[in-house]
Chains A and B, each alone.
Chain A
């Protein structure tokens, strides 16, 4: 079978009008629609051009809200990685001729919903496996579930080395956030020092040992969207096409207690699949965008993708090499840790990759950025999606 690498391109990408800790009761639908509007404008396309919608559930409600009647629909919801996985799905759907202009969209009032209702459901309810066997013990929310995986890593590879890797990610990511005017770090309510030190990291309060507050991502209000289309249409639009060179996806459990190994992610499979499809290798990337739900997620992703060996994240990350000026730029937006994370962050990995590839990243621009790897992790370290993006 012929490869579908480069059979579709990203041609527009945008956030909602505003993002952060909002006080104006914006719904998921409104944040999504703002982002979709802005992404279409970015591409120079109109809503009537859209013939496919991709979202993490609720494509019915989203398409209705925007007045879109798609001929292709994909509600894949496997956690925060979904919107990276959608890039591969859109590539496949376009290559197969099912659609021509795909809208991938996500909006979530993860922060403000707690003040006006519409909260997230608690998993599958009390009769689900999680509801019976995890929730009654207080396995509730990502920080607790991910913390237990991190504690196991500390046992297998050493607590000090693990803590060192976590602190490198925590500090480097905040340095990038300080360069991004839309990052929540600029809001004092974020409780993140604008020039954060290693001491600040170690002194921050405990959420669930081994996670400090500064190991954990934000919960904000935000929307994001991007547009994928055919090579033919892409060449006629406002911006240079960003080619989808490769994609890989998978998941190996749902509940954290069912994870085969707490120190190895499905990225070990999605990475090689995407790299092979794209015809690239670890040394080729100008930028890595890696889902940072927690500092631990990032270090584990780097290992599982093969950027370093298992247990070697501390060596790989030492000396702030992922920070501005370092030789391995990573999470230049400031990430879920300090830019935005509305409950599911994956779409913002793609948005920042696109901005960098278009040279629109301002003070945080990676020079001559041509090839970017995005990797999303979702659920309880359950799902993974890798997408390789490039400009000509």
Chain B
């Protein structure tokens, strides 16, 4: 039976386009999609290339390295799942494969009075994992 370690936080429901992604996350691997007809690697995963609309696309494994594109320090809980869990850091990361993904930044001090103490846009980050349940692991990032 599923053990919900952080009750109440919303969880993803995979579809046919994303089941592979979430299965790999369960194994603590991050995979993104690349187009074979144009030079685009994209996120979020979908079968057809959002740039050239080719069906000729594939999964590639991400190195898990990237840079911080932007972030926010959430102080007011946006949902009951985070009631005991603020402040926390929402973020977007530019993966070295060339796509941008939404995530959380962990291993930093979430201090709205002085964000720059531990968080700087452009800094190198690396993949980490937030095991939300026995079945669902979310890719998150920490300073590299």
Contacts and interface: CB of A to CB of B under 8 A. Distances in A.
A138 B79 contact: yes
B10 interface: yes
A137 B101 CA distance: 11
A256 B91 CA distance: 11
A327 interface: no
Interface in A102-145: 122, 125-127, 129, 131-141, 143-144
A251 to B, nearest CB: 14
A136 B12 contact: yes
A210 B113 CA distance: 10
Contacts, number: 111
A206 interface: yes
B13 A136 contact: no
B70 A209 contact: no
Given A138-B78, A144-B78, A155-B70, A257 B92 contact: yes
A363 interface: no
B9 A136 contact: yes
A22 interface: no
Interface residues on B, range: 35 or more
Interface residues of A, number: 36
Contacts of A134: 102
B112 to A, nearest CB: 4
B88 A152 contact: no
A258 B92 CA distance: 10
Nearest to A150: B72
B129 interface: no
Given A132-B13, A152-B69, A257-B44, 7 more contacts: A127-B13, A138-B81, A139-B102, A144-B78, A207-B75, A209-B72, A209-B73
10 contacts: A126-B12, A132-B14, A132-B18, A133-B12, A136-B11, A138-B74, A138-B88, A144-B72, A208-B90, A257-B43
Interface of A: 122, 125-127, 129, 131-141, 143-144, 147-149, 151-152, 155, 205-211, 255-258, 262
